[in-house]
Structure 1
Amino acid sequence: MPVSPQAYRPSRALAEVADFLADSVAPADFPQTVVRFRNDRAAGEIGLETLTDDEWADHLGRFRPLPDTLPGPLALRYHGHQFRQYNSDLGDGRGFTFAQMHGVDGRLLELGTKGSGQTPYSRFGDGRLTLKGGVREILATEMLEALNVPTSRTLSLIETGESLHRGDEPSPTRSAVMVRMSHGHIRIGSFQRLAFERDEENMRRLVAYVLRHFYAETSDDPVRLLTLVAERTATLAARYMAAGFVHGVLNSDNINVTGESFDYGPWRFAPSWDPEFTAAYFDQTGLYALARQPEAIQWDVMQLASSLRLIAESEPLIAALEGFATRYQTEIVTAILWRLGVTPREGTEDRALVQTFERALRASQAPIDRVYFDLFGGQVPDQYDETWNELRDLIEPYAPRRARDHDYWRGEPESMLIDEVEAIWAPIAERDDWSMLYDKVARVRAMGAALAAPDAAA
């Protein structure tokens, strides 16, 4: 058997709800499957690191079923608000879920695709992914994972040998199929579809499924589900902000009920602290700008509450919604202190420190990644001007969260700004040179090890 017998623990949990949640589909028949990126670190958590490249391409490019998991690909059905406009004509248009397994920590994981071909929800699309889009998703997920943001992980990128025409990049361009690994692909939009169809029975089934498989709870209480989703998504919003990350398209069909970030299109990391910084050229009103992301995610969670009104009373749902703001205020402090590399003091000092830091970061317009690098461990360098004096005084009593003993601290800060993303893509496009991508992934992972707790970095 090609999978690791020690770590591979397959599941078919999705079959419990597939009858109303998904459609069976077939993958595209690609002209070629050339493995360009395989995330063996992630694969080791689910027992797939033992696959040869040929087996990898067979299972993650041709989608021959993995042993004892889902018998075939499933394209999920959902609705959603897109830039606050309701759309009932959605669903997995160029992807599907094709495998489930339990990770080394016991949690359920799923393998889903992007660029795997047309489905009943493709509308006028070709169901494909550009190779550049896949490279960008690798870079986004690797950076976010290193920065402690809950995210899907890019498991695989395989070039597929087709020429694609796109309006937002030079065409024809190369094609690929990507596999992401996450703890689930059920969106707020999955619940919106059931509410739209007034399907009480299956709404209850989906609530119970999510609580059981994603939250390890035996409850089937929709209020409990909303409480947990509000908490998880508030944490996500706070960590986006601490990372200076802008997702770009925080529609309700892009918000996973596990609280993991996923589906990276026009993402950006902000160079400096600009609340109005946007990632998508089509976000002309700044709906999903950097500083508006917490409100945008909370708005999406409100749509989950509205959907759950089909099977629950309003008052307890409203009470559960209120937990988002409370959790966010706690989590933004925790996230920024983590990034600054200091140990919380469990008092009002923490919030004051974070507020002062945010003011200095905005006033100085200093590079975000450079500031976090220089201040890690709680020391404001002497060359920082008077803008930082108040922070210098407030941070002095804080103990370092970990020592600056990793080799990373002897170099330069890692960033993932758009110019660097383009620079990494250029040699791939021009001469099929992937070395810059692989080197960047290695350096980002080194940063993640330097930021993590010592036992996690070992």
Structure 2
Amino acid sequence: MPPSPAYRHEARVFDLGPDFADAVQAADFPRAVLRFRNDRAAADVGLEGLSDAEWIAAFGRFAPLPGQPGPLAMRYHGHQFRQYNPDLGDGRGFLAAQMRETPRAQATSDRVGSDSAPGRLLDLGTKGSGQTPWSRGGDGRLTLKGGMREVLAAAMLEAQGVPTSRAFSLIETGEALERGDEPSPTRSAVLVRLSHSHIRFGTFQRAAYLGRADQIETLIEHVRTLYHPTVAAGDAPGLLRAVVEASARLTARWIAAGFVHGVLNTDNLNVTGESFDYGPWRFLPEYDPAFTAAYFDQTGLYAFARQPEAVFWNLTQLAGCLKLVAGAEPLTDALNSFGPAYIRELRAAFLMRLGVLSLGEAADQRLVDATLALLREGGEALRWEPLFFDWFGGFASSARALSGPRARLYQGEAFDVFRFALMEHEPDRIERLEHPMFAAREPEEMLIEEVETIWAAIDAADDWGPFQAKLARLEAARTAWGFTA
């Protein structure tokens, strides 16, 4: 399995010592049928040259990549819907490998954390790879539909400029799974995702639950060195502030994307502010603050408009863990930076999605408020994603928007306020409007009806054509928007 010369293995998780993970083995699956490989992501870590057979050996059979010592199931705790659970951990996944971002990827990236000289440390983590000591009686498997859904969610979010893990590989594994929340038996798969860190808020919670200040200090140094290198050694409040800033950015990008994660538990947020582990996600059809993704979220705890509140609550749990090694006042100051950071990042995210430049805090906020007011007034007729598509590039897109399928919606008082606020802002990289995508009448969306249609073709006829076609269109959209996370 000869990777490219750009492949740079670096299994830094072992720096933490034996208290944070357990060595495990992948399940022995009856089949391994490659359904998706992300060669663009693979090129970022020097693995794009693997043949399909080598790919299946690495990500379906989990033969160790060069220099990688073998899979580890990470230990962590977490609040699940605000109820503490000390029996968590990687129950159907593991950390398969760690490697440095290639120089080519580093040169074209301005993501959070990419300023470290060696390139970002990236993880390959699995979902559905078999049972671990933390499976709690579960089968350790993943449905093929769940894997397909994560591939689509990650591709859409990346196109929209949201900091996200990337689906790296999806391999069908030939087992018939019984599930209580979807028709069974159903097909199985193993997913591999490429992400920036597997250190979760819940990793700190476990150490705090055990009263291990020494483990908290170990985690602080590990996270500071690898993911937030501008933080001084031993500076727990400084690290918290860095995580707060990254989390505020992530949350603002979710809102601008009209995305609802669905399960914002403390084990589903990590220290780099990168979105991952997509289960019952949804994208907004239209503006609805109370829109929820998970059928089991009966109280709307993780509804669309409550996501900033949920992330802040989770950050307070992280801050509580750090009290074992730092004073309450500086931690509180760091924690309270979330509100201003979120508002600042929300303005930037809306301007990014509208393709216009900042004019200053007051003017930028007017545009955010006017955009939300127009979406609110538009109701079901004005879907979330098409508004940003129609008016991308600001007033330079007025002719396109006013002759498009939603022209009749662009009138009235709310629209006049929006148009005036938009006119104040200059286009950002106006040449992007020359991309063929903007000649289309409709944007790429990811509403649940389309996802179900894509799955139906796979389920009924093993037809992967609609899935592949959707991914191709999302890749074109990513190029057209030109966003960076």
Classify the TM-score, shorter chain.
over 0.9
Alpha-carbon shift at residue 124 of structure 1 (Å): 1.6
What is the match of residue 221 of structure 2?
208
Equivalent-residue separation in structure 2 for 1:220 and 1:406 (angstroms): 48
User: Structure 1 residues 18-27 or 106-115, which shifts more?
Assistant: 18-27
- 2:71·2:94 contact (CA, 8 Å) conserved in 1? yes
What is the match of residue 2 of structure 2?
2
Say which of 427, 450, 458 aligns to 1:400. 427
**Secondary structure of residue in 2 paired with 1:11:** coil
Alpha-carbon shift at residue 397 of structure 1 (Å): 2.6
- 1:3·1:50 contact (CA, 8 Å) conserved in 2? yes
What is the match of residue 20 of structure 2?
21
What is the match of residue 62 of structure 2?
63
Equivalent-residue separation in structure 2 for 1:237 and 1:249 (angstroms): 13
1:127 aligns with 2:125: no
- 2:82·2:265 contact (CA, 8 Å) conserved in 1? yes
What is the match of residue 82 of structure 2?
84
- Root-mean-square deviation (CA, aligned residues, Å) is 1.2
Alpha-carbon shift at residue 402 of structure 1 (Å): 2.4
What is the match of residue 371 of structure 1?
387
1:159 aligns with 2:172: yes
**Secondary structure of residue in 2 paired with 1:157:** strand
What is the match of residue 446 of structure 2?
416
**Secondary structure of residue in 1 paired with 2:394:** coil
Equivalent-residue separation in structure 2 for 1:393 and 1:204 (angstroms): 52
Structure 1 segments of 4 or more deviating over 6 A?
none
Say which of 318, 322, 344 aligns to 2:332. 318
Equivalent-residue separation in structure 2 for 1:424 and 1:140 (angstroms): 13
Q: Tell me the TM-score normalised to structure 1 length.
A: 0.97
**Secondary structure of residue in 1 paired with 2:267:** helix
User: Structure 1 residues 341-350 or 327-336, which shifts more?
Assistant: 341-350
Equivalent-residue separation in structure 1 for 2:171 and 2:429 (angstroms): 38
Amino acid at match of 1:273: Y
Alpha-carbon shift at residue 216 of structure 1 (Å): 2.6
**Secondary structure of residue in 1 paired with 2:3:** coil
Say which of 171, 183, 186 aligns to 1:170. 183
What is the match of residue 32 of structure 2?
33
Equivalent-residue separation in structure 1 for 2:301 and 2:377 (angstroms): 23
| Counterparts of residues 281-300 of structure 1 (less than 5 Å) | 281-300=295-314
Give the percent of matched residue pairs that are identical in Structure 1 and Structure 2.
Answer: 55
Equivalent-residue separation in structure 2 for 1:450 and 1:57 (angstroms): 32
Equivalent-residue separation in structure 2 for 1:402 and 1:450 (angstroms): 11
Amino acid at match of 1:204: E
What is the match of residue 194 of structure 1?
207
| Counterparts of residues 350-389 of structure 1 (less than 5 Å) | 350-365=364-379, 366-379=382-395, 380=398, 381-382=401-402, 383=407, 384-386=410-412, 387-389=414-416
1:391 aligns with 2:421: no
1:407-440 per-residue CA deviation (whole Å, 9 max, x = no partner) reads: 1101120000000000111111111111111111
What is the match of residue 113 of structure 2?
none
What is the match of residue 184 of structure 1?
197
**Secondary structure of residue in 2 paired with 1:10:** coil
| Counterparts of residues 339-354 of structure 1 (less than 5 Å) | 339-354=353-368
Say which of 221, 228, 236 aligns to 2:235. 221
Equivalent-residue separation in structure 1 for 2:137 and 2:361 (angstroms): 55
Change (3 A) 1:236 1:82: same
Alpha-carbon shift at residue 225 of structure 1 (Å): 1.1
Equivalent-residue separation in structure 2 for 1:289 and 1:52 (angstroms): 43
Amino acid at match of 1:394: A
Equivalent-residue separation in structure 1 for 2:279 and 2:361 (angstroms): 39
1:308 aligns with 2:322: yes
**Secondary structure of residue in 2 paired with 1:27:** coil
Equivalent-residue separation in structure 1 for 2:210 and 2:77 (angstroms): 10
Alpha-carbon shift at residue 291 of structure 1 (Å): 0.2
1:439 aligns with 2:469: yes
Equivalent-residue separation in structure 1 for 2:361 and 2:284 (angstroms): 30
- 2:262·2:282 contact (CA, 8 Å) conserved in 1? yes
Equivalent-residue separation in structure 1 for 2:327 and 2:193 (angstroms): 36
Q: Tell me the TM-score normalised to structure 2 length.
A: 0.92
**Secondary structure of residue in 2 paired with 1:163:** strand
Amino acid at match of 1:405: E
**Secondary structure of residue in 2 paired with 1:226:** helix
Equivalent-residue separation in structure 1 for 2:361 and 2:246 (angstroms): 23
Amino acid at match of 2:411: D
Amino acid at match of 2:170: L
- 2:290·2:305 contact (CA, 8 Å) conserved in 1? yes
- 2:262·2:302 contact (CA, 8 Å) conserved in 1? yes
Alpha-carbon shift at residue 18 of structure 1 (Å): 4.0
Equivalent-residue separation in structure 2 for 1:76 and 1:452 (angstroms): 35
1:103 aligns with 2:132: no
| Counterparts of residues 264-275 of structure 1 (less than 5 Å) | 264-275=278-289
Equivalent-residue separation in structure 2 for 1:62 and 1:216 (angstroms): 35
What is the match of residue 278 of structure 1?
292
- 2:437·2:480 contact (CA, 8 Å) conserved in 1? yes
Amino acid at match of 2:451: V
Amino acid at match of 2:455: W
What is the match of residue 248 of structure 1?
262
Gaps of 5+ in 2: 107-118
- 2:359·2:424 contact (CA, 8 Å) conserved in 1? no
1:47 aligns with 2:46: yes
**Secondary structure of residue in 1 paired with 2:18:** helix
